[in-house]
Amino acid sequence: METPEVSRRRGTRRRGGAWCAGLVALAAGVVLAAGCGGADSVREPQARHLLLITVDTLRADRLGCYGGREGVSPAIDRLAHEGTLFDEAYTPLSLTLPSMTTLFTSKYPEETGILRNHFKLEDSEETLAERLAALGLRTSAFVTNPVLRAHDAEVPGPRIDQGFADYEWFADDVSMAEAAQAHMETAFGKEGRAFTWVHFVEPHQPYEPAAPYDALFTPADYVGEWDGSTEALNRVFSEQVDLGPDDLEQVLGIYDGTVRLVDDLVRGLVDALDARGLAEDTLVVFAADHGEDLYDHHRYFYHSKSVYRSSARIPLVFRQPGTVQAGARRDDLVVGVDLLPTLVGHAGGDPTQCAPGNTPRGLDLGATLRSSESVRRSHIVTTWRDSIHVLRTSRWSFVHNPEGVIPLDPPLDPHYVIGKQELYDLAVDPNEQVDVAAEHPEIVAQMRTLLEAWRAGMRAGAAPEALQDPRLAEMLDQLGY
């Protein structure tokens, strides 16, 4: 469950230790990486400040910059225009906490054990916030999804607040954005360093934005019964309702209106930053925790059952004028584990210098952001918990579900049937609608071998991307690499 609560509850956690250590490091004129501090870890910071904006349940292809309708996301589109957009970015698991812990640990959910919401991140995990704090950045978080609440004695949390000096949860996005903006007025300046994470819960279900957002993109003459309430959308799935084109357009219009609401709040944060002359000093990262199935598969509106591109693909944009390439659009395969090494490297740390057991699984995308160097990765793997795996190359996606597991996240109706193996040709079928496994047994066999090698690498603790098996290299050649 990750339904937002109605009541408002705020909690603030302050952890002075890491920030004080960072101050000491700054005072000494030395940039230290967490867990070590050796000379090898000294790098030139590429940005004074980092602003990470994540949006819950934001499906990439609803945004204008990803091919969505005009007017849904003008502020996010502008960020993409002024920065670098990744067209093929994925979360390893389409659920809030597993996704965000992946971003913050550079480990896959199977490694951290965070396969569902309400699981607890171990203290031994060295998080992005902890690493940035050790580099001297003031770390702050503003979140609205209750799944991401700070841990305290009253309400145990998932411990994703590790490393944040300030961590505040709000019951609505508007209040949260106002508080985040006020905080950035003091934390972001021409002196000092700051990392702020802002997480919007909208457009998470129910899709029920306030006026005027509720009617911005809906058909003017709609007379049907469907809306964006959780009750209605669950009924479509439970009763396997055939929606007409107008019904679907109505629901999608409400969803898009909710996206526009968040876009206006994102505009406020970025404009405030730019108006103070801090654009060049600040790396802005825009992403989602996961996407959303919007009636694409099994008449389902949600994400927690899905293994498909509709929910696994996320928007990912980096902007820093003068440092990050402007107007660049990349089709490299990137995944949530890449965020930590990229941000730590950009902030002046060495991502590989860390406490034992915390070596990043992901890749530092810094060279790609600054000089268009290609990301060295041929395939990625996403999962549903640890029982269904999907291996993707730029051409194919292969679903491996050997036990025939039916995801039974709420609602519990068993309609989301996933084959034991499915294959989709993304070149002609990017929304994964037509299973062509039976027509391409040789591709299926190759994808299975790649997946087995990836999983063996995971079990062995090796970075899957770094596997150097010549048989795999030959197979990748055959697949077009």
Selected from 73, 91, 96, 306, the binder of Zn ion by CB under 5 A is 96
Binding window for Zn ion (CB under 5 A); candidates: 209-217, 285-293, 310-318, 331-339: 285-293
Binding window for Zn ion (CB under 5 A); candidates: 17-25, 72-80, 116-124, 286-294: 286-294
Selected from 125, 168, 281, 289, the binder of Zn ion by CB under 5 A is 289
In the complex, minimum distance from the CB of residue 129 to Zn ion, in angstroms, rounded to a whole number? 19
Q: How many chain residues bind Zn ion (CB under 5 A)?
A: 3
In the complex, minimum distance from the CB of residue 97 to Zn ion, in angstroms, rounded to a whole number? 8
3-state SS string for the chain: CCCCCCCCCCCECCCHHHHHHHHHHHHCCCCCCCCCCCHHHCCCCCCCEEEEEEECCCCHHHCHHHCCCCCCCHHHHHHHHHCEEEEEEECCCCCHHHHHHHHHHCCCHHHHCCCCCCCCCCCCCCCHHHHHHHCCCEEEEEECCHHHCCCCCCCCCCCCCCCCCEEEECCCHHHHHHHHHHHHHHHCCCCCCEEEEEEECCCCCCCCCCCCHHHCCCCCCCCCCCCCCHHHHHHHHHCCCCCCHHHHHHHHHHHHHHHHHHHHHHHHHHHHHHHCCCCCCEEEEEEECCCCEECCCCCCEECCCCCCHHHHEEEEEEECCCCCCCCEEEEEEEEHHHHHHHHHHHCCCCCCCCCCCCCCCCCCCHHHHHHCCCCCCCCEEEEECCCEEEEECCCEEEEECCCCCCCCCCCCCCCCCCCCEEEEECCCCCCCCCCCHHHCHHHHHHHHHHHHHHHHHHHHCCCHHHCCCHHHHHHHHHCCC
Nearer to Zn ion, 47 or 339 (CB): 339
In the complex, minimum distance from the CB of residue 304 to Zn ion, in angstroms, rounded to a whole number? 9
* Residues between 162 and 221 with contacts to Zn ion, criterion CB under 5 A: none
Binding window for Zn ion (CB under 5 A); candidates: 36-44, 92-100, 120-128, 359-367: 92-100
* Residues between 30 and 59 with contacts to Zn ion, criterion CB under 5 A: 56
In the complex, minimum distance from the CB of residue 56 to Zn ion, in angstroms, rounded to a whole number? 4
Q: Are 248 and 220 in contact (CB under 8 A)?
A: no
In the complex, minimum distance from the CB of residue 315 to Zn ion, in angstroms, rounded to a whole number? 13
Nearer to Zn ion, 96 or 383 (CB): 96
In the complex, minimum distance from the CB of residue 130 to Zn ion, in angstroms, rounded to a whole number? 23
Nearer to Zn ion, 91 or 250 (CB): 91
Nearer to Zn ion, 88 or 289 (CB): 289
In the complex, minimum distance from the CB of residue 385 to Zn ion, in angstroms, rounded to a whole number? 15
Nearer to Zn ion, 60 or 137 (CB): 60
In the complex, minimum distance from the CB of residue 61 to Zn ion, in angstroms, rounded to a whole number? 17
Nearer to Zn ion, 56 or 281 (CB): 56
Nearer to Zn ion, 59 or 319 (CB): 59
Q: Which residue has its beta carbon closest to Zn ion?
A: 96
Nearer to Zn ion, 165 or 261 (CB): 261
Nearer to Zn ion, 256 or 350 (CB): 256
292 binds Zn ion, rule: CB under 5 A:
no
Site of interaction with Zn ion (CB under 5 A): 56, 96, 289
